[in-house]
Amino acid sequence: MKTYSELEYLRLSKWQKFWYKFARFFCVVIPNGIKNGVFAIGRFFKKLGLGIAHECKDIVTTFIYGDWKTKVSYLVMGFGCIARGQILRGILFFLFEGIFIAYMILYGGYWLGMLPSLGKLGPAEEYDEVLDTFVVKYHDNSFRILLYGVLTIFFIIAFIYTWRVNIKQNKIAEGIIKSGKKLKSGKDDLRSLVDDNFHKTLLALPLTGIIVFTVLPIIFMILVAFTNYDGTHNGYTNNLFHWVGMDNFNTILSWDVGTGGSVQSYAATFGEILLWTLIWAFFATFTNYFLGMFVAMMINKKGIRFKKGFRTILVLTIAIPQFISLLYVSKMFSLNGIVNGILKDLGWIKDAIDFWGSTANNGLLARVMVIVLNIWIGIPYLMLIATGILMNIPQDLYESSKIDGAGAWKQYTKITLPYMLFITGPYLLTSFTSNMNNFNVIYLLTGGAPTNAAASAASGSVGYTDLLITWLFKITTGAESQYNLASVIGILVFIAVAVISLVVYGVLPSVKNEEDFQ
């Protein structure tokens, strides 16, 4: 596309400028963003490869040029440290090696060996001599094999890393001795844990938690997407599960209308729900954002009294656990709930409105209702944020704009709004993605209702207000418990969130021009 110089750009009309920016965004900014992303990934792998190559080289050269203490350390970890007087380090290295070898012999070998097959022997009826009858006996457990197999791989990586550190330590110690300096004693090591290496001490616990309780499960669930783990293959009590390659992805992304009278394919259902998820996230984010800002501006306006009182009332909704407020509100709008009761008493309606059950227009009423009720949940939060930012806008901007002749509306569009958007850009992005995964509001308000009959036939009980995340939840809890399909959906959600984040993050002004408003 045509690129204008800065001076040429200034002479364009308002509309031309708009179209120019618009076209640039799609023709230049986004492709560049994708290009940069791809390059960044490429650079990452190049760096990784070079790093590993360099490490390998160093391991070999250290062995060749190292003294005998170093060489023994290649087999007996920590030997060099102990031989050179660094007893504490040496013992730790040695203990770690001992534990690792013991674990691998006792357990690790089994788990690792079973990992490719995920179990060979399922439950079977066998003759029990004591009971003198045939009973079902359980053998391999696919779930555990997968879980502990992954854990064992983690452990092996940790061991290789420690082994590498052990070799490096030897090299460094040799260098220090050669230059005639003293090695650090165990006491120095301990002291450095509260000073020089304090960050390692501080990070040890949190990172262990994250690795065991977040990274490990995520890797596990990614792997599950490539198995046939579901209610009928639970890996222990009925059938073992096995690797099935890309089958699950094919199922979710296929347009085939399934067997058994289904009227909608998985892909169509997935697309429908994804579309609603995006629509929901868009409205949930921006209605809250603008209305929250509006409320904050009203409360903060000069001459408004009881500022604190109004703020407190709104904030109260944050304080009350969502499961109470959302469940209660959900029941308020039910068929025999208070809202219908009051409307009937007032004579405004004759029959109760079925807020959550009406399937007219693809459940439009329920969809609008969740967005509106989400405003009720979200405004107080946004009001707080907006208040904080509004107070930070330099007053002289308003004063100078007043002198330049701007009215209240111009002040809003030319000062308040740009400032807010600039500061809260990253926040808007994260709130968009977290709304995509806003389980609580949907699940507590509607539970996904009203039922989408066509989609449900294909994959569990799908409703019109179901987001991907609630659909995923339903798939795992329903009678069929299709963990494999749920994992695929989870991976797709992750990809959607990551792509949106990357693209938006790349074009956010507050990331690019950090100084503009400072």
Partner 1 sequence: MNKAVTKEEKAMRRHMGLRATRAISNTVIHILLIVISIVWLIPFIFITLQSFRIENAMPVGYVIPHQWGIDNYINLFKSDFPKWYLNTFIVAVVTALIQTIIVLCMSYTLSRFRFKMRKPLMRFMLILGMFPGMLTMIILYRVLADIGLTQANAVPGLILVYVASSGMGYYVSKGFFDTIPKSLDEAARVDGASRAQVLTRIILPLSKPIVIYTILTAFMAPWGDFVFARYVSFGTSSGMNVAVGMYNWLNNDMITTRYTMFCAGGVIVAIPVAILFMCLQKYYVEGVTGGAVKG
Q: What CA–CA distance (Å, rounded) separates 171 from 165?
A: 10
CA distance 369 to 442: 11
Using DSSP, state whether 125 is helix, strand or coil: strand
Distance, CA of 99 to CA of 462 (rounded, Å): 49
The answer to whether the CB of 76 falls within 8 A of the CB of 60 is no
Shortest separation between residue 217's beta carbon and partner 1, angstroms: 4
Decide if residue 425 touches partner 1 (CB under 8 A): yes
Alpha carbon distance 295, 313 (integer Å): 13
Decide: helix, strand or coil at residue 384: helix
Cβ 511 to partner 1 shortest distance, Å: 9
Residues 288-317 that bind partner 1 (CB under 8 A): 295, 297-299, 301, 303-305, 310, 312-317
Residue span 428-447 as binding mask against partner 1, x where in contact by CB under 8 A, dash where not: --x--x---x-xx--x----
Quote the CA–CA distance of 57 and 37 in Å, as a whole number.
Answer: 30
Q: How many CB atoms lie within 10 A of CB 324?
A: 10
Joined together, the tokens standing for residue 405 give 């002749």
Cis before 418 (ω within 30):
no
Size of the site for partner 1 (CB under 8 A): 100
Which residue, 82 or 462, has its beta carbon nearer to partner 1? 462
Q: Give the binding range for partner 1 (CB under 8 A) out of 115-123, 216-224, 280-288, 397-405.
A: 216-224
Q: Tell me how far, at minimum, the Cβ of 439 lies from partner 1, in Å.
A: 6
Sketch the per residue contact string, 349 through 388, with partner 1: x for CB under 8 A, - otherwise.
---------------------------x---xx--xx-xx
Report residue 451: phi and psi, to 5°. Answer: -65, 135
Q: Which stretch binds partner 1 (CB under 8 A): 16-24, 108-116, 165-173, 208-216?
A: 208-216
Q: Least distance in Å: CB of 181 to partner 1? A: 22
Q: Which residues 11-40 are close enough to bind partner 1 by CB under 8 A?
A: none
**What per-residue string of b and e applies to 140-173 under the rule 16 or more CB within 10 Å gives b?**
bbbbbbbbbbbbbeebeeebeebbeebbebbbeb
**155-194: which residues touch partner 1 (CB under 8 A)?**
194
In the complex, the smallest distance separating the C-beta of residue 212 from partner 1, rounded to whole angstroms, is 7
Q: CA-CA distance, 398 to 406, in Å (whole number)?
A: 9
Q: Which is nearer to partner 1, 371 or 389 (CB)?
A: 389
Answer for which of 2, 179, 409, 518 binds partner 1 (CB under 8 A) is 409
Q: Give the shortest CB-176-to-partner 1 separation in angstroms.
A: 21
Please say which residue, 15 or 45, places its beta carbon nearer to partner 1: 45
Contact range with partner 1 by CB under 8 A, out of 113-121, 128-136, 160-168, 422-430 = 422-430
